[in-house]
A and B are shown apart, each in its own frame.
Chain A
Amino acid sequence: DGGITQSPKYLFRKEGQNVTLSCEQNLNHDAMYWYRQDPGQGLRLIYYSQIVNDFQKGDIAEGYSVSREKKESFPLTVTSAQKNPTAFYLCASSVSGTGGVGGTYEQYFGPGTRLTVT
């Protein structure tokens, strides 16, 4: 089955610690994304990557870092510099970050990781 996996589903950390959230896809998608969701709000883009070894900041990148060493993997590190890290984190992927010729831009999402920092 093709899809996107995120692990773990729930993650607890103490304030001041960095934590890395995993995202893996076997859809052969070029583009991958990280979003943050807070209660009662829509999704906000943290980082995105259109191709291996390249990534760009989204709207709320401060306090986060990413890497894209493999096409299948796009891990997100929540650093101690992130002031309000407790949230639901969603990873997504799409065929291409640019839609391709005649293509669409639909993104497919993983099940999410709920991070709680105390």
Chain B
Amino acid sequence: GEDVEQSLFLSVREGDSSVINCTYTDSSSTYLYWYKQEPGAGLQLLTYIFSNMDMKQDQRLTVLLNKKDKHLSLRIADTQTGDSAIYFCAESRMDSSYKLIFGSGTRLLVRP
């Protein structure tokens, strides 16, 4: 199947860590991506991970990939109010490299 699934909503307190989860179905995924979308704006690429990696860290962002379970997560440390946005995970596949399959997005709300 083509599904990339995410939970719809996450609320955290400022300063806490946020963990946004994503599951995908296709084992031929090559790269997996996290994008951030602020209201009324385009998508901003945050980070990506190659499918043979388990983890990638980039400042406050940590991506974990469990290929066996087809589970991807994005951890944001010390979450700030400016992190409030919708976060999309996306995958690209070996058989259709041009195409990114997007999840429906997780809305992150950071409470002061």
Contacts and interface: CB of A to CB of B under 8 A. Distances in A.
A118 to B, nearest CB: 20
Nearest to A31: B98
A4 B35 CA distance: 16
A60 to B, nearest CB: 13
Interface string A86-109: 000010101001110000111111
Interface in A66-118: 90, 92, 94, 97-99, 104-112, 114
Contacts of A50: 98
Contacts of B103: 42
B45 A48 contact: no
Contacts of A114: 40
A98 B98 CA distance: 6
Contact size class for A?
A: 20 to 34
A2 interface: no
A11 interface: no
Interface in A25-41: 31, 33, 40-41
B99 A45 contact: yes
A40 B98 contact: no
A40 B104 contact: yes
A106 B97 contact: no
Interface residues of B, number: 24
B4 interface: yes
Given A106-B31, A106-B45, A114-B40, A97 B102 contact: no
A111 B88 contact: no
B98 A105 contact: yes
Interface of A: 4, 6, 31, 33, 40-43, 45, 48, 50, 58, 90, 92, 94, 97-99, 104-112, 114
Interface of B: 4, 8, 30-31, 33, 35, 40-45, 48, 50, 88, 92, 97-100, 102-105
Given A42-B102, A105-B98, 20 more contacts: A31-B98, A33-B98, A40-B104, A40-B105, A41-B104, A41-B105, A42-B88, A43-B88, A58-B99, A92-B43, A94-B98, A99-B30, A99-B92, A106-B31, A106-B45, A108-B45, A109-B43, A110-B42, A111-B41, A114-B40
